[in-house]
């Protein structure tokens, strides 16, 4: 049996009471949002009549979103503590219903703003009170070609609750209902495989443990392949439905439009990676030699090259390492990281029913929160520093931007997290005590490239293929998903790897496929972070100041503009190539260590 939540020390659990100290407080906010929704209804049909009506509508809208964000974040994080808890399931469901109600009632705002005569809008914007909403309004007007009539917008908003069914079903099936078998660990003990310990088993020195963990997970997903195919197809169809309804050319165009990203950025990524697969093949060939195996299997990929050392990093030690590694970012940045450690921003350890993986979340009125499933290993250390990057980005955004501009676009979301990882990587390479330790960390650095750049691009290509096939009228079955996914693994891992048939079911366990066209941002973010971290280490304060300005800018500008100001042009193919050249040099360095 796993650890129960009440068996974990308080200091290792996040303090959600800092958002709501009682159920009464939560219910009070539910009621306030309901009241504000009744008030904002009065402006439907008359929003464009005067600048006062426009201002009052936007003021109420902002207030509704701000309070409801507290509700949504709190109820879902409570559910994630133990996904089996019926009360918390009900509360998060109630929050989702409220979100749907908000979307429905406020759906008149965008189409009515779009209908305002240009001359009238220019006069309205002379008001000092409305100037704070200028970018918000400009962003709405940018979407004018893809915005429908008020009645049609209301219908789309009403559909959002149903549209989330596929993702919700996936989460409940994958994280709450599916149980993996027990296997024998390295000591011969029977241990049940979980989402939290799976990665640890894949890094085991014992090949039988790795293989059994790998097979136990993917053979379990195989049993549910048709259900997972149904949920994934439902999610794909949702995106296609909304893109067609709004008259985009495709689902991917609709998704990229949100961040104001050119389709060329997405396609460049896949093209540049595809041209640089030889370096990946070379790395895997070297890995095969290090591991002394006849065949390199998929369950061998996460295995450290050095078996003589075992880097164990307890959580308390991880905190000290991170503070030293992030020192180049300056004292102010470090003081905020210390607050995260000292003020219970972080839910550290796995417990029964807890949501797997890791994330950084929070609301405008709360500090950031981090969900972890910490194991005493290097991967957990890097996961922690990664999520702290997200949290510091959110912290700076919220402190320096008004609510409506505090949410940075997803396109830049992975830059701060990956930059933190790269600073940690450099610190650990520079402070390795032995050749074996340096080799271990060098391999870990290469694995970050493999999993964050190459693997996420493979995911991105998978998404692109399945959406295009679905848009052309193909009904995709579990067999189709498996075949597409298996072929991509063959392409990305090459002839030096034995691509096991079980990997064809991996698509069924990837939650990011339900956040359409998200994963490519890991690869672009890694590339941008590579350049920025190099600038910070080589240029010092000037580069740090530009980087902090980037973090503080939140959602006040478009992502490509923000990165250009920080010193990175993501529309240039060469930016991705710079990251891959770093990978190439690391492979050569690894080869020299053989």
Structure tokens at 382: 């890097």
Instruction: Write the DSSP assignment of 246-310 as a string of letters.
Output: TT-S-HHHHHHHHTT--HHHHHHHHHHHHHTHHHHHHHHHHHHHHHT-SSEEGGGTTS-S-SS--
Which residues, other chains included, contact 298 with Cβ-Cβ below 8 Å and sequence gap of 6+? 214, 489, 493, 497, 498, 499, 500, 502, 503
Distance between CA atoms of residues 579 and 511, nearest Å: 26
Query: Which residues in 204-218 are b (16+ Cβ under 10 Å) and which e?
Result: beeeebbbbbbbbbb
Q: Please indicate whether residue 184 is annotated as part of the active site.
A: no
Return the DSSP state at 571.
T
CB 184 within 8 A of CB 154: no
| E strand or H helix at 381 | helix 378-400
Alpha-carbon 110 to chain mean position = 27
Cβ pair 148, 157 in contact under 8 A: no
Say how far apart CA 290 and CA 294 lie, in whole Å. Answer: 11
CB 156 within 8 A of CB 245: yes
Q: Is 365 left (phi over 0), alpha (psi -120 to 50) or beta?
A: alpha
3-state SS assignment for residue 376: coil
The count of other CB atoms within 10 Å of the CB of residue 515 is 14
Annotated catalytic residue: which of 239, 387, 414, 461?
A: 387
d(CA 564, CA 531): 12
Gap between the Cα atoms of 550 and 566, Å rounded: 6
Active site residue ranges? 387
């Amino acid at each position: 049996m796993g650890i129960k939540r009440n068996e974990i020390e308080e200091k290792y659990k996040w303090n959600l009471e800092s958002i709501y100290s009682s159920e009464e407080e939560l219910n009070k906010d539910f009621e306030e949002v309901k009241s504000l929704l009744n008030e904002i209804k009065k402006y439907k049909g008359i929003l464009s009549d005067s600048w006062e009506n426009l201002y009052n509508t936007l003021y109420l809208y902002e207030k509704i979103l701000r309070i409801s964000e507290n509700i949504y974040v709190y109820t879902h994080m409570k559910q994630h503590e133990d996904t089996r808890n019926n009360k918390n399931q009900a509360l998060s469901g109630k929050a989702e219903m409220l979100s749907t109600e908000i979307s429905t009632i406020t759906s008149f705002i965008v189409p009515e703003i779009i209908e305002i005569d240009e001359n009238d809008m220019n006069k309205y914007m002379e008001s000092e009170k409305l100037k704070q909403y200028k970018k918000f309004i400009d962003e709405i007007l940018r979407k004018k070609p893809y915005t429908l009539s008020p009645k049609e917008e209301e219908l789309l908003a009403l559909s959002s609750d149903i549209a989330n069914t596929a993702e919700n079903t996936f989460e409940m099936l994958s994280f709450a209902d599916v149980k993996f078998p027990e296997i024998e660990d390295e000591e011969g003990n029977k241990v049940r495989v979980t989402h939290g310990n799976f990665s640890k088993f894949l890094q085991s020195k014992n090949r039988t443990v790795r293989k059994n963990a790998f097979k136990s997970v993917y053979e379990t997903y195989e049993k549910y392949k048709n259900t997972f195919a149904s949920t994934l197809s439902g999610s794909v169809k949702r995106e296609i439905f909304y893109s067609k309804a709004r008259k985009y050319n495709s689902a991917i165009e609709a998704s990229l439009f949100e961040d104001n990203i050119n389709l060329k950025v997405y396609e460049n990524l896949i093209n540049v990676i595809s041209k640089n697969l030889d370096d990946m093949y070379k790395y895997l060939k070297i890995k095969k030699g290090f591991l002394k195996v006849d065949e390199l299997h998929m369950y061998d990929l996460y295995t450290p090259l050095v078996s003589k050392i075992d880097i164990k990093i307890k959580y308390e030690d991880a905190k000290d390492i991170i503070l030293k590694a992030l020192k180049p970012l300056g004292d102010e940045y470090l003081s905020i990281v210390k607050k995260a450690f000292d003020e219970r921003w972080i839910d550290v350890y796995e417990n029964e029913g807890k949501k797997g993986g890791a994330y950084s979340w929070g609301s405008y009125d709360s500090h950031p929160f981090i969900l972890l499933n910490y194991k005493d290993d290097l991967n957990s250390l890097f996961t922690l520093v990664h999520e702290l990057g997200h949290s510091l980005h959110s912290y700076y955004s919220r402190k320096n931007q008004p609510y409506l501009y505090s949410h940075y676009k997803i396109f830049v979301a992975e830059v701060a997290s990956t930059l933190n990882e790269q600073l940690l990587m450099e610190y650990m390479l520079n402070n390795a005590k032995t050749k074996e330790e340096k080799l271990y960390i060098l391999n870990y650095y290469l694995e970050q490239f493999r999993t964050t750049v190459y693997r996420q691009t493979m995911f991105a290509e998978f998404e692109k293929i399945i959406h295009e096939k679905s848009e052309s009228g193909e009904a995709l079955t579990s067999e189709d998903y498996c075949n597409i996914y298996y072929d991509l693994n063959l392409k990305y891992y090459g002839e030096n790897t034995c691509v096991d048939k079980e990997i064809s079911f991996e698509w069924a366990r990837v939650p990011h496929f339900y956040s359409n066209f998200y994963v490519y941002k890991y690869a672009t973010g890694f590339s941008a972070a590579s350049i920025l971290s190099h600038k910070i280490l080589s240029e010092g304060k000037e580069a740090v100041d530009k980087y902090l300005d980037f973090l503080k800018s939140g959602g006040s500008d478009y992502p490509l503009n923000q990165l250009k100001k920080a010193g990175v042009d993501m529309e240039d193919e060469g930016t991705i190539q710079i990251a891959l050249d770093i990978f190439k040099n690391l492979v050569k360095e690894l080869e020299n260590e053989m």
